[in-house]
Amino acid sequence: MIGRRTEWSLDLPERYYTLESYEGGVARWCPGCGDHGVLTAVQRICRDEQIPPEKVVAVSGIGCSSRFPHYMHTYGFHGLHGRALPVACGVKARRPDLHVWVATGDGDCCSIGAGHWIHGVRYNMDMTVMLFDNNIYGLTKKQTSPTSPMGLVTNTHPSGAWLPPINVVQSVLGFTNASFVARTVDWNLAHLHQTLRTAYHHKGLSFIHILQRCTAYTADLFDRLRNDPTKLLLLTHDDGVPVDPAVGKLYTNQRVHDPSDLAAARQLAEPDDVVPIGLFYRNPDAPLYETFTEHGLTMTVEDKLAAVERELDRFAV
């Protein structure tokens, strides 16, 4: 036939995804902001796992950290303030085949979004939730957040934050049906990467509390932890976050912690001068809400209409 060569094949070559496959717009976060490292870690995990970009959705609320979806060359949803988790649960309910990364801030999650925080964790849908905790409202320029330490001078509390901060890890460990709770820091990229990778492989909602530097408003807040590595307690266990040799060498203050032990996890989460990082708790048997929402996903429109008709017929007089 004219114009058609029989030796041509329409089979597409196998795709290999590089870091660039996941890179969206140029990140407009400040130089030195901890958010850059988290973004890179997520892109690296997507590349290492070779997740097709069209199978990834980044979901967020509002805040500096919530600009995350713009910088991923995947599907994304930059939602409303505090509403990252309801959007993410909705995506997961209809499209359980997609991997959802949720980016939320300490204001977004623990203040206006606190109600959704409790129920999102309880729904335990398979997604990775990253709380970027810079202890401040960054985007709106330095208001007290629920995790601001007492005495922190902010625009809403010029004489110092008035109330004790919410303990994020302790709170999540108190929520019903929590299935994966970890903490890491943005300034140790190896630990950050391994924590997010472990979270990605968990089936259920993995919640990661990330201590994140804001160079503009809370620049020196984590200096105490950064300048003295013994102020961080590295949690180790065969079922925990794998310890990179360089991380093990830097953080000599270590403790073997079995992540199936909820009581021990809660004790570790108590406020202390020394801050534990790693996996606090994991329960692979916690029920997942998508086992409920998956019902009927494969039904055709005709099947659904027929089911509705059948139900209505029961009330026919």
Ligand X SMILES: Cc1ncc(C[n+]2csc(CCOP(=O)(O)OP(=O)(O)O)c2C)c(N)n1
> 177 contacts which partner out of Mg ion, ligand X, none, CB within 5 to 8 A by kind?
none
Q: Output the CA–CA distances (angstroms, integers) from residue 212 to 35, 227, 315, in the order listed.
A: 7, 15, 58
- Whether 239 and 280 have beta carbons less than 8 Å apart is answered as no
- 232 with 206: CB under 8 angstroms? no
In angstroms, what is the minimal distance from the CB of 128 to ligand X? 17
Q: Pattern 88-107, binding to Mg ion, x per CB under 5 A?
A: -----------------xx-
| HEC secondary structure over 32-55 | CCCHHHHHHHHHHHHHHCCCCHHH
**What's the closest the beta carbon of residue 85 comes to ligand X, in angstroms?**
13
Question: Is residue 81 a contact residue for ligand X (CB under 6 A)?
Answer: yes
Q: Which two tokens stand for residue 182?
A: 């970890």
Site for ligand X in 263-292 (CB under 6 A): none
Residues that bind Mg ion (rule: CB under 5 A) add up to a total of 4
Ranges within 104-133 binding Mg ion (CB under 5 A): 105-106
Among 111, 124, 134, 218, binds Mg ion (CB under 5 A): 134
Report how far residue 191's alpha carbon sits from residue 2's, in angstroms, rounded to the nearest whole number.
60
Residue 213 β-bridge partners? none
Site string for ligand X, 104-143 (x = CB under 6 A): -xxxx---x-------------------x-x-xxxxx---
* Coil/strand/helix, residue 80: coil
Amino acid identity of residue 110, one-letter, is C
> What gap in Å lies between CA 167 and CA 194, rounded to an integer?
23
Note whether 79 binds ligand X by CB under 6 A.
no
Q: What is the distance of C-alpha 202 from the center of its chain? A: 12
* Sign of the torsion formed by the C-alpha atoms of 66, 42, 72 and 102: negative
Which tokens belong to 132? 């970027």
Residue (128 or 145) nearer to ligand X, CB: 145
Q: Which is nearer to ligand X, 41 or 268 (CB)?
A: 41
- Count the residues of the shown chain that bind ligand X, applying the rule CB under 6 A: 18
SS3 letters across 118-168: HHHHHHCCCEEEEEEECCEECCCCCEECCCCCCCCCCCCCCCCCCCCCCCH
User: What x/- string results for residues 40 through 69 when contact with ligand X is judged by CB under 6 A?
Assistant: ----------------------xxxx----
**Closer CB to ligand X, 93 or 112, in the complex:** 112
Under the criterion CB under 5 A, does residue 212 sit at the interface with Mg ion?
no
Q: Please, which residue, 138 or 276, has the CB nearer to Mg ion? A: 138
Long-range CB contact pairs, 24-27, < 8 A, 24+: 24/69, 24/70, 24/71, 24/72, 24/73, 24/74, 24/76, 25/70, 25/71, 26/71, 27/67, 27/71
Least separation in angstroms between CB 237 and Mg ion = 30
**Residue 148, interface with Mg ion (CB under 5 A)?**
no
* Minimum CB–partner distance for residue 66 and Mg ion (Å): 10
Least distance (Å) between residue 314 CB and ligand X:
44
- Do 198 and 242 form a contact (C-beta atoms < 8 A)? yes
Q: Which is nearer to ligand X, 163 or 297 (CB)?
A: 163
CB of 28 to Mg ion, least distance (A): 16
Q: Report the interface residues with ligand X, using CB under 6 A.
A: 62-65, 81, 105-108, 112, 132, 134, 136-140, 145
Q: Report the interface residues with Mg ion, using CB under 5 A.
A: 105-106, 134, 138
